[in-house]
Amino acid sequence: MRVPALTGLRGIAALWVVVYHYQLWAPALGVSWLNDVPLMSAGWHGVDLFFVLSGFVLMLTHAQDFVSLKGEVVVAFWKSRAARVYPLSWMVLLLITVVVLADRGEAEWYQTLNAKNYTLLPFIKTALLANRWGFAGDDGDWNQPVWSLSIEIVGYALFPVVAWRLTRRSAFWRAMLFACACLALLALIQVVSGTAGINKIGFKAALARMSLGFFAGAALAHCLAVCPDWLRRICPTLATLSCLAIILIGASDTADWAMTSFFAILVFSLSAQRGSVQQLLSAPIMMFLGRISFPLYLLHVTPLLLLVYHLRGLAIPGWTASLIFLAYIIASLALAFLLHVTVEQPSHRWGRRWAALASSEPTPMDGPRSFVPAAWPKVSGRDMQSRIREHAIPGSTGAPPP
């Protein structure tokens, strides 16, 4: 079965981040009403949702690949991951370079915000997706959203070992305990460090956000193979309650430390494919947003900077500012779709051939992989290793999946 709701959820996360960034610059563009819309100031949390989703879907896709840790499988996984993130990132960087060369005024203005913006070292780091690898001078950007992708590369590097350990230790409650421990540790770090509710993207904060959310998602996906039936029955209720909690936390700007935990509950609950939340996120418009979510996330900041540079300080009427906002959203969606068709999809196909993987099913950048668990099986007294092999996701030796 497919989980289209996960694709729709990723689309909502990407659009949430886009509108959040626009809201940050709204005063310079005359769009004051965005500041009054609940949840907009919490849109940066969409990146944490990406981290959980990425670990969850990767584990669904590779449940069988890492039953044993084989070098050729690990290399194939890394190859296909590289093919899915680098070509699109390079194309967006190329477009940004054209903008910088064509509009020196905008480039010089952006450098007044940080003198290292649009300089050589950040360009090299952006091309390598190494912006947040802990090197000295991790400031200065060409494409600011790449920070999350650069830190997720670390997650991709570690994923085979974590997936292998989860598969070896396949008891439901053990995997669930690991996921809860990751989420609790993330909340504790944010509360103790005072970063709860703050979009910290330095190396340490970014690594904590990525790794703990990413591996919590992977552990929850592993739980599907040996999940008790009673938990499946309450998943629609859990999905509704987690959505309400996310809305309340985002709108009230309190208890931000719990946001990633509710993201994890929502992602896990949607895998049951039941309830009104699943139906809403499976709508065609949500699926479209999900398919173009990766290019949309990568490209949305540079057009916004162009708007701010050319329109700042102007007395723009409210209705005109709203039309500009609408035009920005439509143009970003259109460009994301174009990049999805011309760059992202071909790079996925090339990546499958390069990694010599058999399947041609969609991946998390296109939409969640097809996987066909017969049911959410009840835990029996049989040998745990045989159960995980029996109930692991068929077809998971195919192309890996943000």
Residues 6+ apart with CB under 8 A from 327: none
202 or 92, which is more confident? Answer: 92
In this prediction, residue 252 carries a pLDDT of: 87
259 or 272, which is more confident? Answer: 259
Residue from 112, 141, 117, 137 nearest 127 by CA:
141
List, for residues 41-73, the tens digit of each pLDDT value.
889 999 999 999 999 999 988 878 888 888 888
List, for residues 295-326, the tens digit of each pLDDT value.
999 999 999 999 999 888 777 787 888 888 89
Q: What is the mean pLDDT of residues 91-109?
A: 94
366 pLDDT band, cuts 50/70/90, is: very low
359 or 100, which is more confident? Answer: 100
Are the CB atoms for 222 and 10 separated by under 8 Å? no
Provide the CA 149 distance to its chain's centre, in angstroms.
Answer: 9
> CA 360 to CA 348: how far, in whole Å?
9
In this prediction, residue 149 carries a pLDDT of: 93
Helix, strand or coil, per DSSP, at residue 316: coil
> CA 41 to CA 36: how far, in whole Å?
9
Q: Would you say residue 167 has pLDDT above 80?
A: yes
> CA 246 to CA 241: how far, in whole Å?
9
Residues 6+ apart with CB under 8 A from 20: 40, 41, 42, 43, 44, 46
